[in-house]
């Protein structure tokens, strides 16, 4: 049985195959509408979510399956003190696959050890968010045609932003990747990622505080929200929340081929005027999330692809 807890749980080849499957589904969604008939997805969300939970549910419904679950810790037995280990043991009898989001780092990993069904990490604290990464990779590949030879700017809360951590980890497997890390000093990428991921794989990177300096060099700009819920005090959040705001004016500094990604939700980081720029890819990215999760559910459940071996 397979789980997806860490972005590196799938080999590069498996990720490439999954993205190919997502492309095939995008090209002909009707062909997939019965693929997961009679299968059930449980969404176990102990932390707020819009896109991740709803896109998982939409993905399973699009495949002809059904969904059950809870969307906050308060509405589950976690509020009575139940452990994730006990919850997943029980849910294993109610569903065929589970997606779990939890404020504690490592909770989905712990659940997977007690689970009788595949567990997907839908975000664990400030740690990892592998399905957002699959969404990001699909969006980058569909926009640029490749996952190699790219200069990628990551901007905002690089300390607490789990989507950033997972994306960096995944992209180290592709050649010619260079990162420009744009953040205030207090929100720099954690040392464990700088050392164990970037330096360990000889991935070139630079750190800067200036979005303006970075913009002309970028193929991809990945904007992020300052992660209010992970701050110890509100004052620090208020001081840092508007560190970077992408405006139509700043977009004039960026190459014509650049794509702007953002995992959403956006707070203030991207002015609404940027939405009409053809380089804005964040709503397309949210849409891609459904197709990549359809591909992931099929892969983890071992469901046959009705359009296997067909080029798109
Ligand atoms: C992200 C998350 O939950 O980490 N949202 C998402 O899943 N698309 C990003 C965020 O909350 O800032």
Which atom of ligand 1 lies closest to the CA of 264? Answer: 8
pLDDT at 187 over 80: yes
Q: Determine the pLDDT at residue 91.
A: 98
Ligand 1 pocket, residue 285 CB under 6 Å: no
Instruction: Select from 306, 281, 277, 159 the least CA-distant residue to 225.
Output: 159
Q: Determine the pLDDT at residue 81.
A: 85
Looking at residues 105-132, what average pLDDT do you find?
Answer: 97
pTM confidence score? 0.96
Q: What is the pLDDT of residues 156-178, one digit of tens each?
A: 999 999 999 999 999 999 999 99
- Asked if 192 contacts 128 with a C-beta cutoff of 8 angstroms, the reply is no
Ligand 1 pocket, residue 258 CB under 6 Å: no
Q: Ligand 1 mean position to 207 CA, how many Å?
A: 23
Q: Ligand 1 mean position to 262 CA, how many Å?
A: 9
Note the Cα 158 to chain centre separation in Å: 14
Q: Ligand 1 mean position to 309 CA, how many Å?
A: 34
Q: By alpha-carbon position, which residue is closest to atom 12 of ligand 1? A: 225
Which distant-in-sequence residues (6+ apart) come within 8 Å of 50 by Cβ?
264, 265
pLDDT at 228 over 70: yes
Q: By alpha-carbon position, which residue is closest to atom 1 of ligand 1? A: 263
Q: What is the pLDDT of residues 274-294, one digit of tens each?
A: 999 999 999 999 999 999 999
Ligand 1 pocket, residue 7 CB under 6 Å: no
Residues in the chain: 312
Q: Determine the pLDDT at residue 75.
A: 81
Per-residue confidence at 80, pLDDT binned at 50, 70, 90? confident
Share of the chain above pLDDT 70, in %: 99
> What is the Cα–Cα distance from 248 to 270, expressed in whole angstroms?
9
- Asked if 74 contacts 96 with a C-beta cutoff of 8 angstroms, the reply is no
Q: Determine the pLDDT at residue 196.
A: 97
Q: By alpha-carbon position, which residue is closest to atom 8 of ligand 1? A: 263
Q: By alpha-carbon position, which residue is closest to atom 7 of ligand 1? A: 52
Ligand 1 pocket, residue 293 CB under 6 Å: no
List, by residue number, the catalytic residues. Answer: 51-52, 80, 101, 129
Mutational pocket test of ligand 1: of 129, 157, 223, 261, the residue with most ligand atoms within 8 Å of the beta carbon: 129
Ligand 1 pocket, residue 286 CB under 6 Å: no
Which domains are delineated in the chain? 7-128+289-301 (3.40.50.1370), 130-285 (3.40.50.1370)
Cis peptide before 265 (omega within 30 of 0): yes
Strands 119-124 and 40-45: unpaired
Distances (CA, A) of 95 to 90, 235, 274: 9, 43, 41
Looking at residues 305-309, what average pLDDT do you find?
Answer: 90
Q: What is the pLDDT of residues 2-39, one digit of tens each?
A: 999 999 999 999 999 999 999 999 999 999 999 999 99
CA dihedral 34, 282, 131, 218 (to 10 degrees): 130
Ligand 1 pocket, residue 162 CB under 6 Å: yes
Q: Determine the pLDDT at residue 311.
A: 62
Ligand 1 pocket, residue 123 CB under 6 Å: yes
Ligand 1 pocket, residue 139 CB under 6 Å: no
Name residue, tokens 């953002």: 262
Helices (H), 74-117: 84-91, 107-114
Rg (CA), the chain: 19
Instruction: Select from 227, 27, 42 the least CA-distant residue to 142.
Output: 27
Q: Determine the pLDDT at residue 312.
A: 58
Mutational pocket test of ligand 1: of 133, 160, 263, 289, the residue with most ligand atoms within 8 Å of the beta carbon: 263
Q: What is the pLDDT of residues 111-122, one digit of tens each?
A: 999 999 999 999
The side-by-side arrangement of strands in the sheet containing 40-45 is: 66-70, 40-45, 97-102, 119-124
Q: Determine the pLDDT at residue 174.
A: 97
> What is the Cα–Cα distance from 194 to 182, expressed in whole angstroms?
14
pLDDT at 310 over 80: no
Ligand 1 pocket, residue 228 CB under 6 Å: no
Ligand 1 pocket, residue 263 CB under 6 Å: yes
Both tokens assigned to 268? 């203030």
Per-residue confidence at 77, pLDDT binned at 50, 70, 90? confident
Note the Cα 128 to chain centre separation in Å: 8
Which atom of ligand 1 lies closest to the CA of 129? Answer: 4
Contacts 24+ apart (CB under 8 A), 305-308: 305/21, 305/24, 305/35, 306/31, 306/32, 306/35, 307/24, 307/28, 307/31, 307/32
List the helix and strand counts (H, then E) for the chain. 11, 9
Q: What are phi and psi of 233, to 5 degrees?
A: -140, 145
Q: How does 275-295 read in b/e, with b if 16+ C-beta sit within 10 Å?
A: eeeeebbbeebbebbbbbbbb
Which atom of ligand 1 lies closest to the CA of 157? Answer: 12
- Asked if 210 contacts 251 with a C-beta cutoff of 8 angstroms, the reply is no
Looking at residues 119-146, what average pLDDT do you find?
Answer: 97
């Amino acid at each position: 049985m397979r789980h997806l807890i860490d972005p590196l749980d799938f080999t590069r080849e498996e990720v490439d195959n999954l993205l190919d499957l997502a492309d095939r589904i995008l090209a002909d969604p009707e062909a997939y509408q019965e693929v997961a008939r009679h299968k059930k997805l449980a969404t176990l969300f102990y932390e707020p979510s819009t896109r991740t939970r709803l896109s998982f549910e939409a993905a399973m419904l699009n495949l002809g399956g059904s969904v059950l679950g809870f969307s906050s810790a308060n509405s589950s037995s976690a509020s009575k003190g139940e452990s994730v280990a006990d919850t997943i043991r029980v849910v294993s009898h109610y569903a065929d696959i589970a997606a779990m989001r939890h404020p504690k780092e490592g909770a989905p990993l712990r659940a997977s050890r007690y689970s009788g069904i595949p567990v997907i990490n839908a975000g664990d604290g400030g740690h990892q968010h592998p399905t957002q990464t699959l969404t990001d990779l699909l969006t980058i590949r569909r926009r640029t045609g490749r996952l190699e030879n790219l200069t990628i700017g990551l901007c905002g809360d690089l300390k607490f932003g789990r989507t950033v951590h997972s994306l960096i980890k995944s992209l180290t497997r592709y050649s010619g990747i260079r990162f420009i890390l744009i953040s205030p000093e207090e929100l720099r990428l954690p040392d464990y990622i700088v050392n164990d991921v970037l330096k360990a794989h000889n991935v070139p990177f630079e750190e800067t505080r200036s979005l303006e300096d970075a913009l002309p060099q970028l193929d991809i700009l990945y904007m992020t929200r300052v992660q209010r819920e992970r701050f110890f005090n509100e004052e620090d959040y208020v001081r840092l929340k508007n560190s970077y705001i992408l405006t139509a004016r700043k977009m004039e500094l960026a190459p014509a081929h650049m794509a702007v990604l953002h995992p959403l939700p956006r707070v203030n980081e991207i002015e609404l005027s940027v939405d009409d720029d053809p380089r804005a890819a964040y709503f397309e990215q949210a849409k891609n999330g459904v197709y990549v999760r359809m591909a992931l559910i099929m892969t983890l459940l071992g469901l046959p692809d009705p359009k296997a071996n067909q080029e798109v």
